Amino acid sequence: MLLVTANTYNGTTTLTSGILVVNNALALGTGNLVLGGGTFQANLAVTLNNPFTVTGPATVGGSNNLTFAGAGTLNSGSMLTVDNTAVTTFSQVLSGGGSLTDAGTGLLILGAGNNYTGSTTIANGTLRLGAPDAVPSVSQVTLLSGATLDLNNFNEAINVLTGQGNVTLGSGNLTIGNNTTPTTFSGQISGTGGLSKVGTATFTLAGNNTYMGATTVLAGTLLIDGSQPGSNVTVNSGAILGGLGPVGTLTAAGTVSPGGPRNLAERQCRVQRRLELCGQNQQRDGWNRLRSA
């Protein structure tokens, strides 16, 4: 179905199957849009002000820029898949218990601090932040190989990060770990920004990261099994750092475990108030506690 002109009705437009195409900002009138299935797309660049609700597995597709300027609700159990080869933008808050998947080769921009509680999957293309914490802090993020999460210089806090894709920080800081299950990220993190580990669970960085900002272990365990020699690491009291890979300058008030069963190749080691374990590219067997004294 193709809606090509400006309409004036104020009722709800519901898509449950098939393809609905718009090419006018007022094609849907002033009412709500309900996506219960099928594919919604534009055949030229369009900005829609209509609020929308996702009630089932629905897709935003096409090959033209499409901006949703109205607030969106992802109902519990629903999945909104973006499979556009151009730019798709959600300018307002996405809320609800549903999930979001970026499957297209284009660019998906989240332009507000969202609070939906479902998962976020970046399977293809790039998901770019247009505001701080655009991916909700409770969302479990899966980043597949070849896909990119672009912080675009904004700070972002997420629950879980897994997968093999790329994270581009810019100057932003990524906070990870408000969960209780061990997780691993095998992709690459780049940029001038930094990373903070929170939560009680173990988080493993298995990729060769090039980001230059600070790595801060605030709580739980961070294992570095890849390489990130450009990032200086601070381990707070009660937190643990371990793993196989090289890091930058290490400052620890907590526990550093360069073995048992992993090794931490240290370039420099500095402990608050007292130097206890230091050396160039040392490897130590067993679990070694760094204490401030």
- For residue range 37-75, list pLDDT tens digits in order: 999 999 999 999 999 999 999 999 999 999 999 999 999
- Are residue 220 and residue 293 in the same domain, yes or no? yes
254 falls within a domain:
yes
- Are residue 164 and residue 206 in the same domain, yes or no? no
Please report the pLDDT score of residue 4 as a whole number. 87
Residue type, 142: T
Q: Write the pLDDT tens digit of every residue in 70-106.
A: 999 999 999 999 999 999 999 999 999 999 999 999 9
- Are residue 163 and residue 209 in the same domain, yes or no? no
- Are residue 26 and residue 73 in the same domain, yes or no? yes
**Cβ contact 124:105 at 8 Å:** yes
Please report the pLDDT score of residue 257 as a whole number. 83
- Are residue 158 and residue 235 in the same domain, yes or no? no
Q: What is the pTM of this model?
A: 0.89
- Are residue 153 and residue 278 in the same domain, yes or no? no
- Are residue 80 and residue 154 in the same domain, yes or no? yes
Q: Is residue 3 classed as helix, strand or coil in its secondary structure? A: strand
9 falls within a domain:
yes
Among residues 168, 193, 226, which one ends one of the domains?
168
Average pLDDT over every residue of 23-44: 96
Bridge-partner residues for 208, per DSSP? 227
- Our CA angle for 174, 179, 181, nearest 5°, is 115
- Are residue 15 and residue 123 in the same domain, yes or no? yes
What is the spatial distance between Cα 47 and Cα 92, in angstroms, rounded to a whole number? Answer: 12
Does the pLDDT of residue 266 top 90, yes or no?
A: no
Please report the pLDDT score of residue 267 as a whole number. 40
Confidence band for 34, pLDDT divided at 50, 70 and 90: very high
- Are residue 78 and residue 156 in the same domain, yes or no? yes
Cα 69–chain centre separation = 22
Q: Write the pLDDT tens digit of every residue in 176-199.
A: 998 889 999 999 999 999 999 999
- Are residue 135 and residue 256 in the same domain, yes or no? no
155 falls within a domain:
yes
- Are residue 242 and residue 146 in the same domain, yes or no? no
- Are residue 127 and residue 257 in the same domain, yes or no? no
Q: Which domain holds residue 288?
A: 201-293
Total of domains in the chain: 2
Please give the share of the chain, as a percent, with pLDDT higher than 90.
Answer: 84
